[in-house]
Amino acid sequence: MAELYDVMSTLRAVRKLRPDPIPPEVLDRVLQAACWAPTGGNTQPWRVVVATAAETKQALQEIYEPEWERYSAGFMKMMAGLPPEQLAKWERIVAAGDHLAQNLAKAPAILMFCANPALMAITDSKLDRVSMVGGGSVYPAVQNAMLACVQEGLGCTLTTLHCLHEDAVKDVLGIPAEWATVGMVPIGYPIGKGHGPITRQPPSAMAYRDRFGEAWS
């Protein structure tokens, strides 16, 4: 049990990846971990396209990199008024994001997770808010794959910026019209430290007892 907690508490975004190939058996284990994820009614309404061909990865980079440049420029404008030490932290994160965007095609594998809403029981689809329930049958698979990456010594990060150009992405990967893209996870052996301790809010800040807002402890 402690090993599982260790993996969960060290899964952080690793955006600097070596181009070294991933052994097929390692990639198979990562994909198997994704397949073990729970889904509503055990329907497994998701699929994953594993991009390994150089031309395919380059096409994805050409879609992703300009969008990252726009996003990161806007983000840093919003952060401009922060104290220097806080600003420096965000500058490091954006620099790592720059590296990923500029070297996405060099990642040995890019996992593109897809989902088909027609295969899901989306119980909140008629509520007067953005529907969120469908993600419960997709993102556990994404997390399982990422946790397996930690176990295998692989770096990884989840991004959804590609969704802003979903039609282009689907064209590159041959994804049918009825399927949506929900997450892109580049994976590879890390440059530098890779995964490590993370900073998250504790249960005392995130969990409530019996009623929303009532302190857990």
Show the domains of the chain with their CATH numbers.
2-206 (3.40.109.10)
- Residue 2 pLDDT: 55
Can you tell me which residue has the tokens 């996870």? 185
- Residue 93 pLDDT: 93
Distance CA 188, CA 5 (A): 22
pLDDT in tens, 70-81: 999 999 999 988
Distance CA 146, CA 143 (A): 5
- Residue 145 pLDDT: 98
Ramachandran region of residue 154, left (φ > 0), alpha (ψ -120 to 50) or beta? beta
Task: Specify the 3-state DSSP secondary structure of 48.
Answer: strand
Encoded tokens for 217: 């402890």
Mean pLDDT of 38-64: 97
Mean pLDDT score of the chain: 95
**What is the β-pairing status of strands 46-51 and 109-115?**
antiparallel
| pLDDT of 197 higher than 80 | yes
- Residue 104 pLDDT: 98
Close Cβ partners of 172 (under 8 Å, ≥ 6 residues apart): 56, 59, 60, 63
pLDDT in tens, 107-152: 999 999 999 999 998 999 999 999 999 999 999 999 999 999 999 9
- Residue 1 pLDDT: 45
